Structure 1
Amino acid sequence: MSLAFLFPGQGSQAVGMGQDLIEAFASAREVFEEVDEALKQKLSTLMRDGPEDQLTLTENAQPALMAVSVAVMRALEREFGVAIDKAAFVAGHSLGEYSALAASGAISVSDTARLLKLRGQAMQRAVPVGQGAMASLIGPKTDLALAEEAAKAGAEVGVCVVANDNNQGNVVISGEKAAVDWAIEKAKELGARAIPLNVSAPFHCPLMQPAADEMAEALAEAAISAPRAPVVANVTARPTNDPEVIRGLLVEQVTGRVRWRESVQWMAGEGGVTRFAEAGAGKVLSGMVKRIAPDAEAVPLNGPADLEAFAKTL
């Protein structure tokens, strides 16, 4: 049985996430302490107590979600002897790619926390609030071709692109608000439902270029080594373990499309993965895997009981 570890992205955060891990495992507690120290911020207290609107801020949500994911993996290894290199591949959705790199030892937890804090701030700075928008196109008729057609119509008004190709029935568009609004109307004509997303900025579109420039500068200084398992990158949907390639892909990822459907299809097909384990908060990616690769097994690893049960099956 070939295994891949997956790491969730923004939207999976919730007040209280990771608390049962902290209470159960000293190894998980260490991760939260490392992140607090790196950021000179009591992020762990915000994660435990809220308020939710502060946790949801991009600059807080991104390092917080990474902390939970890495805590899961560290507890798996220390408490149950399941190392990340048991996996054939690792992959993360958007910011989850940073979690995958931290968990696989390519970037230190402290550096990852600082990079994600900056990434969140840079994305927020790139576009004034209210000028950008994102929308999720959903429904049985929704596929990449429909979303591309809707985005093309929006692009006649302003910047509008497909940002996240999540799975059949769930594709996200991003860009200038007027353009996204226009694309929403086109998508409805084509038979999709459209839900405007409550986000602070239009992620994964060309409007994020100022954020990509900031990240390029920060990543140029970051120490990156080969991950212990190849990382299937968002922008290529293919694996790599080359530190310099990873550095470049993380910059591209800020403005580039999250090719999640293709990533999972590749792992379940050519990659031979039959089991996906989602390490971190929530189970969004597990749901996506079931829609993309119905023959594969998908298990969310959220709390101590999940980790113990999972370890027993290996």
Structure 2
Amino acid sequence: MATAFVFPGQGSQAVGMGKALADEFAVARAVFDEVDDALGERLSTLMWEGPADALTLTENTQPALLAVSLATLRVLETEAGVDLARDATFVAGHSLGEYSALAAARSLTIADTARLVRVRGRAMQKAVPVGVGAMAALIGLDFEQAAAVAADAAQGQVCQAANDNGGGQVVVSGDKAAVERAVEIAKSRGSKRAMLLPVSAPFHCSLMQPAADAMKDALAVATVKPPLVPVVANVLALPITDPAEIVRRLVEQVTGTVRWRESIAHMASQGVTTFYELGAGKVLSGLVKRIAAGAIGVAIGNPADVTAFKAAQGA
């Protein structure tokens, strides 16, 4: 029975996330301290005390989610004897989560990853003025249908299928007027629900090219090692291990589609039956069972989850 470890992206954040882990486990506290030191500020205080509107700023959300995911992994390693190289067939992460996956697999250090995602968050926020772009979820359409809606809605502007999340959930991204047109077109084509999302920028579309350029520069000077476990890349939905390719795909990911449905399906086709979601929220665990028949998703993000994991492993 093969397993994969997956890592959440933006949208899973909440004030207080990770605090129970830090309170109970010294190794978790050490991860939060390491991220704080790398950024030169007490991000952990913002995570645990808020305010929520500051935490949801992309430049804060991204390193915060990274910290919780890696703290969770460190706890599993020390408390339950998890050895990623031995216990995981693949790692993968949704958008920002791909950086968490790479850090988990020791391709990047925690400190370097924290600094990279801070650059990424700021560059993504800066790439498009607030109010110019938008994203919308189209529920009940498959990827091809949603991509066709986006193409018809563009009308000379940008509108792209940004996230293929699976379970009939596709997110489109681009110029605000074009995305609003996509919502109306989707409703006329059988979408069960189509709605604008409360996001601060239009991620994963060509409007993010300035952010892709910034990440190309930042990654060019980062030390990237072969991961201990193959990383299933968002833009390929296939596993990669070569550091040069990892860098190239991370740059492409900023403007490219997050092919999450295909990523989970590929891992399942290679025998993965259990997907452990490490960090904040349970979004990815919920998607697993809708994408891969018979597969299960298990979310681990607090001490009770760790206890349950240990009991299931007989640890």
Q: 2 CA distance for matches of 1:303 and 1:178?
A: 40
1:162-241 alignment runs, 5 A limit: 162-192=161-191, 193-241=193-241
TM-score (norm 2): 0.97
TM-score for the superposition, normalised by structure 1: 0.97
1:148 corresponds in structure 2 to 147
- Extract unaligned runs of 5+ from structure 2: none
**Matches of 1:3 and 1:108 in 2, distance apart?**
23
Give the drift of 1:308: 2.6
Alignment match, 2:65: 65
* Correspondence for 1:96: 97
Q: Distance in 1 between matches of 2:198 and 2:38?
A: 29
1:78 shift after superposition: 1.4
Aligned to 1:161: 160
Residue aligning to 1:12: 12
1:282 corresponds to 2:281: yes
Distance 1:73 1:94, change over 3 A: same
CA deviation vs aligned residue, 1:37-88 (integer Å, no higher than 9, x gap): 0001110000010000000000000000000000000111112211222100
Residue of structure 1 equivalent to 2:88 = 87
1:115 and 2:119 are equivalent in the alignment: no
Contact 1:73–1:84 under 8 Å retained in 2:
no
Partner of 2:312: 313
Deviation at 1:311, TM superposition (A): 3.0
Who is 1:46 aligned against? 46
* Structure 1 position 313, deviation (Å): 2.9
SS class of match (1:276)? strand
Is 2:234 aligned against 1:249? no
Stretch moving more, 197-206 or 154-163: 154-163
Counterpart Cα distance in 1 of 2:136 and 2:15: 24
Cα deviation, 1:101-127, whole Å, max 9, x if unaligned, reads: 111111010010010011000001111
In structure 1, list runs of 5 or more residues that go unmatched. none
Q: 1 CA distance for matches of 2:310 and 2:208?
A: 40
Equivalence for 1:27: 27
Residue 299 (structure 1) aligns with: 298
Contact (CA 8 Å) 1:28, 1:74: kept in 2 or not?
Answer: yes
| Deviation string, structure 1 residues 1-29 (Cα, Å, up to 9, x no partner) | 10000100000000000111101110000
Q: Per-residue deviation at 1:169?
A: 1.7
Give, as a single letter, the amino acid of the residue that structure 1 aligns with 2:302: G
Question: In the aligned structure 2, how far is the partner of 1:297 from the partner of 1:123?
Answer: 33
Q: Secondary structure at the match of 1:251?
A: helix
**Dislocated runs of 4+, deviation >6 Å:** none
What amino acid is the match of 1:149? A
Task: State the Cα distance separating 1:176 from its structure 2 match.
Answer: 0.5
The alpha-carbon deviation at position 191 of structure 1 amounts to 1.0
Structure 1 residue 305: deviation in Å?
2.1
The answer to whether the 8 Å contact 1:144/1:168 transfers is no
Separation (CA, whole Å) in 1 of partners of 2:129 and 2:95: 21
Contact 1:134–1:175 (Cα < 8 Å) also in 2 = yes
Alignment deviations for residues 247-304 of structure 1 (CA, whole Å, 9 cap, x no partner): 11000000000000000000001x2101100000010000010110130111000112
2:260 corresponding residue in structure 1: 260
Q: Answer yes or no: is the 8 Å Cα contact 1:157–1:178 preserved in 2.
A: no
Contact 1:10 1:95 in 2 (8 A): yes
3-state SS of 2:13 partner: coil
In the TM superposition, residue 309 of structure 1 has moved relative to its aligned partner by 2.1
3-state SS, counterpart of residue 198 of structure 2:
coil
What do residues 206-265 of structure 1 show as CA deviations (whole Å, max 9, x unaligned)? 000000000000000000001111100000000011111101100000000000000000
Question: 2-side partners of 1:279 and 1:35: how far apart?
Answer: 17
